[in-house]
Amino acid sequence: MKRAKDVNPRKTAVQERSRFTVDAIYEAAIQVFTDNGYNSATTDLIAERAGVSIGTLYQYFPNKEAILIGIWNRNMDEADRGRDLFMKGVKPEDGLTPRKIKITLKAILKLHKESVMPHLYFEDVPQPDFIQEKSRKKESANIKSLQEVLGQSTNLRRQRLDFAARMIHEVMERLIHRYLTHFQDEMSEDELIEEASDMISRYLFAD
């Protein structure tokens, strides 16, 4: 496994133009990884798809692995924003309801639609330790937030809220990942949300 310093960006995009360039490289990389597979993807292909010179790409990233890890980092930042929006919209003091479960699932699906594909390359590029640790911390924070909401909910069937929060988190994450990568052609997004929210509501709430 490469050390963390070998996969870090070469410079940080501070100015708006630089951020635009980095975002273009990330989006191009996702497309190239998806179309060609990670192992067959090259920095030349990514630069061409992004509309930048290979020299410009190398100003920011030493290799394609650094680009992929940058995408992972960006996705986790998006997940943080998603959790903040969830907590703001759900309002923990009001608890969780079947309607709010639907809202939550829709928000998670929206966040994942642009971030799931890069996660398919975990086997091709083992995540560095610092990425794994960051991911674990964010997962724990998400589950803690969900448990906080459950603590203010009424008419729950489940007594162990820590277990319930973990189960709901795992079901939502796994189901949406699988939907986006394996069976989108079998049902619409609205149908997925309807079925998933019904399943989670039946698990959580008494009749």
CATH code assigned at 71: 1.10.357.10
In this structure, the dihedral spanned by the alpha carbons of residues 159, 148, 191 and 116, taken in order and rounded to 10 degrees, is: -120
What pLDDT is attached to residue 41?
Answer: 93
102 is in which domain, residue-wise? Answer: 4-204
Q: Which residues pair with 205 in a beta bridge?
A: 156
Is the pLDDT at 1 greater than 70? The verdict is no
Higher per-residue confidence, 3 vs 202: 202
What pLDDT is attached to residue 197?
Answer: 95
Is the pLDDT at 155 greater than 70? The verdict is yes
What pLDDT is attached to residue 107?
Answer: 82
pLDDT tens figures, 122-149: 667 777 888 888 888 888 988 998 898 8
pLDDT tens figures, 8-34: 555 555 566 788 999 999 999 988 988
What pLDDT is attached to residue 116?
Answer: 62
Number of domains in the chain: 1
Winning range, highest mean pLDDT, from 15-19, 53-57, 107-111, 175-179: 53-57
What pLDDT is attached to residue 3?
Answer: 45
pLDDT tens figures, 76-116: 777 676 667 666 666 666 788 888 889 888 888 887 776 66
